[in-house]
Every structure is written in C-alpha cells, then in structure tokens.
Chains A and B, each alone.
Chain A
Amino acid sequence: MTDVEIRNEPKDSDWVRITSTDGFSYLVRRKVANVSGTMRNMLDTTSNYAEAVTKTCPAVNRHSRGIIAEKLVEYMCFKAHYETVGPKEDIPVSDYMERVPPEIVLELLLAADYQEM
C-alpha cells in the first residue's frame, strides 16, 4: 500500500539506488538522481520502467567502474547542492575539477555524455 502511494507521488526526498557494474552501489535522494537527464527518465514514475519500479539505476550503460560511478554521484550531489544557491555565492567548480584524476577523464566524459549531465 505504501509502495503504491510513493510510486504515485515521487518525492524529492525518496531514496534511489545507483549501481556500478562491478558491484558498488550508492544511495542518493531522488532530487540528486534527477540531475542526470537519463536517470530522471529512468526513474520517471509515469513510465513504469523497471528502474522506476525498483528505484535502482545502473550508473553507466557499459564500461561502468565503481570509480566512475562515484565521480558521477559526486558531481550529482555537488550540482544538486549548489544549483539553488544565490547568484552572489561562489561555486567551487575548480575544486571539483581538481578532484577528477586525468586518468579517468575520458571514461567520465563518456559516462557524463550518456547521463546527459
């Protein structure tokens, strides 16, 4: 009963699970997952996809390693947090960029492209 209710009215504070192919999984708020256009569509409750029903998304289609999924989730939290701040406040974008090791940039690029973010 409660399940049905939640499915009908998705709340930003719902928990959803993001998984990588090598077994890592990350629990984030729906609001955070919605940063990614692909995940938002996957979790769209009107669509009845398996992802929406189980509230679990694979982080990347192919080549998804834990570290890539982690960086994706990090960016999603980062964006969800700073998206709403006022125009005066500084967004530490360069801090985030420093935390991305160059070895994974290309992989991350592909993952980000897939996730529409």
Chain B
Amino acid sequence: MSGNNVRGPTSALTEFLRSSGITATTIARRVATRVQTQTPNQQDQAIAGPSTSSQNATAESSSRRVTRRRSTRASGYASDELDDDEEPAVVPAEDKPMDEVEDEAPNPAKKRKLSKAALAKSKEAAKANAKKGAKKGADNDMDDEEDPYNALSRSMWTNESSARPSVGSFEDCAVCQKQFTVTKYTLAANPPPGFLCHQCAKAGGKDPFKKPAPKKRKAAADKRTAPTFDERRFPSLVTMCIQLITKHINDIEALGDIGTMNVEAISKALSKNRGLTPENAHLFYSATNTSLVLYDATNLTSPALHTLALLNPALTSLRLDFCGHLDSSSFPAFCDFLPHLTSIELLGPFLIRIDGWIHFFEKHPCMERFLITQSPRFDLECVKTLVKHCTGLKALRLKEVGKLSDEFLEELEALNQLEYLDLADPSTSCSENAVSSLLTKVGGKLKHLDLSGHKELSDEFLFSLASHTGSMESLALNGLLEITNTGLAEFFGEWGNPPLTKLTLARNSELGGPALQALLEHSGAQLEELSINGWKDTDEESLRMIGFRAPKLKRVDVGWCRAMDDFIVKSWMEGDEGPKRRGDIVGRLDNLREMKVWGCNKITDACPRKAGVNIYGVESHISR
C-alpha cells in the first residue's frame, strides 16, 4: 500500500464513479442523511478545520466539512479549487464504520496502522491551520483508505503490482499458509484474497517469471492499415481509350478521321487525369496545323515540347497549359521553328530564362497576343525587348508575374495598340500613379482590363479609369480592398463607356448594395457575366435588381453574398408578377446558364431549379 501512487487511480475512480452515476451531490446527500447520527466527537473535528468561504453555501454541513478538510490537506501541494472539483467523491473514513473498511482492505492490520498515523498527522495539520499540511504520501494513503468507494471498486480496478505488498515484506501464502518473502514475481491467489508463495504459484500452473502479455490494444492498432489512397484496380473507360490511342498512335489512320470539331473535345478529354503523354500528343500534330491547344502539358517533357515545335511548323496560335517542362533547351525551338506564330499563351513557363524570352521576341516581331501566367523570371529587360520588337502587340497578359513593378508599366506605355491587358495578381502592387499614367497612354483602345490584386489602387484610380477608357467590354478588379462603395457607385455613374459584357469584382468585401445598383444601372443591359463574389453585405433588394436590370446575364457568381436566399433564386429563375398586368413576368433571367452560390448558406435544398441552369455550391447538394 505504501508505495502506491494514488492520484491517477483516484481520478480514474472519480471517472468511473461518475459513469456509474455517483457524483459529489449524491454522495453529499447520502453522507448528510448518515451524519444525523454521528458522534459529537466527529463534529468537533470538523469544526476544528479552517473555514473556506468558497464552498457551496447550500450544501449540507457534513459535505462541506468533508470537502473542506480535503482542501485543507490538499493545500500543502495543490491548493487550488481544482482539487475540490476533481475529487469530490471522497468520503472520509470516519463517516463509515471502521470494521467495514477493514473487511475490504486486503491487509487490515497494516493498513489501519498506517492510516491511523496518517490520520493523526493530518488532523494536527488541520488544527494548526498549516498551509503545508500533510505529506503527499501520507495524504494519498489517507485518501485511499478514507474512500469506501475506492475500496469497493478495487476489485475492478485491480492490477497486481498495486495490490501486492511491498517487495521484501513477509506474507502468508494463501494455499499452504507458509510465510514467504514477497518478490516482484509474487502472484496473487485466484480466487483473490491473499498471495501465493513461489511453490504454490508454480503448482497452480502459473509461471511466475512469465512476462506480462504485450498490450493487445497496440497490436490491434498495428493491424489496422489506414487506406491512404484508393488503388484503382479497375481502369476507367477513358483510361482504356487513352491506352488504346497511345497503342495505335503510329497508325493514325486506324483511328479514323478526328474531324476538326472534335479535336478540342478530344484534347480536353485526354488532358483530364494527366492523360496527355509524349506518345499520344502526336494525335494533335500536323504540318498544316495553324492552331494548337493542349490543356495539360504536364507530362510533355522538354524533348517532347521540342518535337511539338518541329512537327507543327505552320502554327500561328499556340496555347500550352501547365508547360512547366518548357526550358532553355526546348524554348529556342519555339523561337526558331515557329516563324508564323502570332499568338502564344503559356501557363506556368517557369524555366524559361531571360535570354530565352529576349531571343523569342527578337524572332517574332509580328507577335499580336502574348499571354503568360506565372513566370517568376520575366523581368524588366524582357519587357523592354518585348516593347521594342513587338510594337503591334494587341493582347498582353503578365499575370502572376512576380517581378511586375511600376517600371514595367512605364515601358508598356509604348504599346498603343493594346486591346487586352491583364496584369493581375503581382507579388507587389503597382502604384496608383503608374497605373493612371499607363491608362492615359493605352486606355483609349482597351477592351479588356484586369488589374486584380493591385492592392494600392483606390477610388483615385477609378477616376483615371473613367476618364481614359471608353471602349471597354470587360473589366476585372478582384480583391481591390481600397475601393469603396461610394467610389465605385460614382465611377459607374460618370463613366462614358458603353455597357460592359463582363464584369468581375470578386472579393471586394467592402462593396455592397449601392455599388451593385450603380453597376447594374450602367452595364446591366449588356451584362453577360457578373461576379460579385464576396460582397457580403449586399442587401436583398439590390440582389433582386439583378433580375430586372441584367436580362442578358448568362453566368453569375454571388458567392458569399449573405443575403442570397431561395426567394431571390426563384425570382431570377421564374420571375415575379409584373405590377401592370396580370400574367406579366418581370425580373426573370432567361439566359441564365450558370450560377455560383458557394457560401450562401440561406440557400437550401428547396431552392428552385430550372433545366439548363447549373447551380454550383448549394451546401445541401453535396452528395456522394
């Protein structure tokens, strides 16, 4: 008993008791009923304890006494209230007849001796109002012995090491009654009371030296294999077809005529699941090809891209998505063997070096469309060469180009033919002055402008945009947090530009109703695509207005507009009855094809649907 560390088992016991429905209050009540018959001696002891005002005033006097005594003793090493809360199930031994305790304890005499010493000690400590109180060990023993529930449940919680007397002490064998020395191999008798000497243990068929069985729980955990991925044993039909195409690629006639219309569809199908490989890419190559689009060139290695340039000499337009393998060894082929190229669109040309770009621009002075996304090496020198050689450039995209800066914009001012300009998402925003200055030079002919992510742009920029552009068709200003509701409303109010067909103003969380109404007023008549994703405070009335003011709308993204609900969707889909005549339907979006409502959690499963309109992002539609 003496070497017993009780704190763990006690709280486990508390847990156990709690699970069996025994709590501090039930015990308090039980003790309270019992204490009516208690001796005055015990009452004295109780009163002698120090008072702690934090105790529950409504509790019965005895329960107060119990906890108070405990907290006093506990204060020596853990004086916080946690202890009181944690171990309220303890009932002192005095509340219970002593013989009962004795019956339950395996070694009554010894225990009583110990407990008496401890009791005396703790009483002293309590009386002296000492903060340090009893020693931990003694206190623990006290708890053990005081707590009748602990004693009761010992048979359930027992583990041999704790039940066994200390090593080196003497014990009488439960079978042969001989005295023997307790060792760490001593086994408990089965059925329980007492312990066995070595001979009796062996005679009973148990091996005292047997090591405890390895923990079973751990073995079970080992056995379970977490499926980190699903092995696709069964190939999809698409994969099989791609395999077959690859197999027959050298015999293209066998595959029959692709037909020009299908090329794009096949290219898309092949690009899914990274299906396009250096082998089957030949399907799309031809010496007479003028246009080539590969949607996923991830698996086309540098030599394969070199081959691409060699096998499609007539290309005027080339688009490669995910062309990360395009590097200094293959890009020169694009420069030298594609002389007619006027339009190039690359997504992710990370590895092309500065001299590669410069060489390319020198070889392609007739370039009209130069669209690149994500090119960290593209720098000021590249821009200078671009502007110097490709003077007729009509479309320029330098999206997510890390080095984009005000100096870039100064160079771009010379490109006065520009119709399409996309400088979205730089790593650092360009300044308002530089952007305004660029717009004064190139703004006149611009049809599409994307300046998303230039965080420094504010309402001032909108003024220069309004005054220097006049033929815009499409505008994207995502994530310009400086722009205000009134600023944007004024901008659309003043702008002399004809109505836009495409407008993306996503993730401008400051914008709301007034801006939306102003933009609908300006562009609603021709608007086909609209994104107000993230305009969280847009009011319901303004959202409903979309249906009335933008009859040509095909795609709309109203994600995270919190006022969106089923009724607005219904009015867009089915319209409302007009005020003038019965049967008049107004506010219906007849051309609507796609609606994105991610994060509009007022939209429920009951939201209306219509043939031909795809609704994406309804939370309750997530299935399978």
Contacts and interface: CB of A to CB of B under 8 A. Distances in A.
B245 A112 contact: no
Interface in A3-20: none
B259 to A, nearest CB: 9
Interface string A73-117: 001000100110001000101001100101111101110110101
Given A87-B233, A91-B234, A106 B255 contact: yes
Contacts of B270: 109
Describe A's contact surface by its main secondary structure: helix
A103 B256 contact: yes
Nearest to A114: B269
Interface in B235-254: 235-238, 240-245, 248, 251, 254
Contacts of B241: 100, 105-106, 108-109, 112
Nearest to B268: A113
B235 to A, nearest CB: 6
B340 interface: no
A109 B280 CA distance: 13
| B235, B237, B265: residue with the most chain A Cβ atoms closer than 10 Å | B237
Contacts of A112: 236-238, 241, 269
Contacts of B256: 102-104, 106
A110 B262 contact: yes
Contacts of B233: 87, 91
Nearest to B242: A109
Contact of A100 (B244, B251, B262, B272): B244
Contacts of B47: none
Contacts of A97: 240, 243-244
Contacts of B240: 75, 93, 96-97, 100
A34 B355 CA distance: 54
Nearest to A100: B244
Nearest to A74: B237
Contacts of A104: 256
A103 B244 contact: no
Contacts of B251: 102
Interface residues of A, number: 23
A21 B233 CA distance: 32
B310 to A, nearest CB: 24
B117 interface: no
Given A102-B254, A103-B254, A117 B238 contact: yes
B234 A72 contact: no
Contact of B237 (A82, A91, A108): A108
B255 A79 contact: no
B272 A113 contact: yes
Contact of A106 (B243, B262, B272): B262
B244 to A, nearest CB: 5
A115 B270 CA distance: 14
A106 B258 contact: yes
B266 interface: yes
Interface string A21-34: 00000000000000
Name the prevailing secondary structure of the B interface residues.
Answer: helix
Interface string B200-238: 000000000000000000000000000000000111111
Contacts of B255: 102-103, 105-106
Contact of B234 (A82, A105, A109): A82
Contact of B238 (A93, A100, A113): A113
B238 to A, nearest CB: 5
B244 A105 contact: yes
Contact of A93 (B235, B248, B258, B272): B235
Contacts of B269: 109-110, 112-113
A105 B245 CA distance: 7
A117 B236 contact: yes
Which residue of A72, A83, A102 has the most chain B CB atoms within 10 A of its CB atom?
A102
- Which of B238, B242, B258, B268 has the most chain A CB within a 10 Å cutoff? B238
Interface string B121-138: 000000000000000000
Contacts of A79: 234
Contact of A105 (B235, B248, B262, B272): B248
B244 A102 contact: yes
Nearest to A98: B244
Nearest to B256: A103
Contacts of A117: 236-238
Nearest to A82: B234
Nearest to A36: B237
Nearest to A37: B624
Contacts of A110: 262, 265-266, 269
A108 B265 CA distance: 12
Contacts of A108: 237, 241
A105 to B, nearest CB: 5
A8 B405 CA distance: 62
Nearest to A97: B240
A72 B262 CA distance: 19
A91 B232 CA distance: 12
A79 B237 CA distance: 10
A91 B240 CA distance: 14
Contacts of B243: 97
Nearest to A75: B237
A79 B235 CA distance: 9
Contacts of A103: 254-256
A110 B270 CA distance: 9
Nearest to A115: B237
A104 B283 CA distance: 15
A58 to B, nearest CB: 15
Contacts of B234: 79, 82-83, 91, 93
B216 to A, nearest CB: 27
Nearest to B252: A102
A115 B242 CA distance: 15
Closest 10 CB pairs of A and B: A112-B237, A109-B241, A113-B269, A102-B254, A102-B248, A105-B244, A112-B238, A103-B256, A75-B237, A117-B237
Given A93-B234, A110-B269, 18 more contacts: A75-B237, A91-B233, A93-B235, A93-B240, A97-B243, A100-B240, A102-B251, A106-B258, A106-B266, A108-B237, A108-B241, A110-B262, A110-B266, A112-B238, A112-B241, A112-B269, A113-B238, A117-B238
20 contacts: A79-B234, A82-B234, A87-B233, A91-B233, A93-B240, A97-B244, A100-B241, A100-B244, A102-B251, A102-B254, A104-B256, A106-B256, A106-B258, A106-B266, A108-B237, A108-B241, A109-B242, A110-B269, A113-B238, A115-B237
Interface of A: 72, 75, 79, 82-83, 87, 91, 93, 96-97, 100, 102-106, 108-110, 112-113, 115, 117
